[in-house]
Amino acid sequence: MRVPTRLLLTAAAALAARRALHSPAGRYDLTGRSVLITGGSRGLGLALAQECLSRGANVTLMARTADDLRRAQDRLNAGPRVQTVTGDVRRDGDAERAVQEAVRAHGRLDVLVNNAGIIQIGPEANTTEQDYRDALEVNTLGPLRMVRAARPYLRGGGRVLIVSSVGG
């Protein structure tokens, strides 16, 4: 039986995410904490949301499309413990709005998971300068925007998780 590559990658990423939620001193207790996940509507972002919810966290998902967020919220089936924000990490205003929505909905923000990312695949000869700029904006500057927006709420024990890949 051949296992699809996408399934294997998602499973490996979910395992890595579980390990990342442990502090050096031991397990980081998510009970009652507020977690904001970018790129949270599918794939690893959705798996991370499920893991955080199973550990007692409240979750805010950020993604670019409202339809994908509605499907993710329905799939998670966690009622008011899951909020969604339509936004793009490439825009400062969207980063600020996502953080504010997490704080409004859950009263605080304890964990920021920078999971949004894009991977440009293809021959370099077919890759435009704009492709490189888009990757830089999402994969590098997006997490920077999110951390800057979240920093005031993460003081005193907050966590930041940045998901990355060689391809990204």
Report domain extents, the chain: 28-162
Selecting from 3.30.70.1140, 3.40.50.720, 3.60.15.10, 3.40.640.10, what CATH number does the domain 28-162 have?
Answer: 3.40.50.720
In this prediction, residue 22 has a pLDDT band, given cuts at 50, 70 and 90, of low
pLDDT for position 10: 60
Greater confidence (78 vs 70) lies with 70
User: pLDDT band at 2, cuts 50/70/90?
Assistant: low
Judging by beta carbons within 10 Å of its beta carbon (0-12, 13-18, 19+), is residue 168 exposed, middle or buried? middle
CA distances from 121 to 125, 138, 167 (A): 11, 15, 8
Highest mean pLDDT among 6-10, 16-20, 159-163: 159-163
The Cα 133–Cα 104 span in angstroms is: 33
How many residues are listed for the chain in this entry?
A: 168
- The predicted structure's pLDDT at residue 7: 59
Q: Reply yes or no on whether the pLDDT at 114 is more than 90.
A: yes
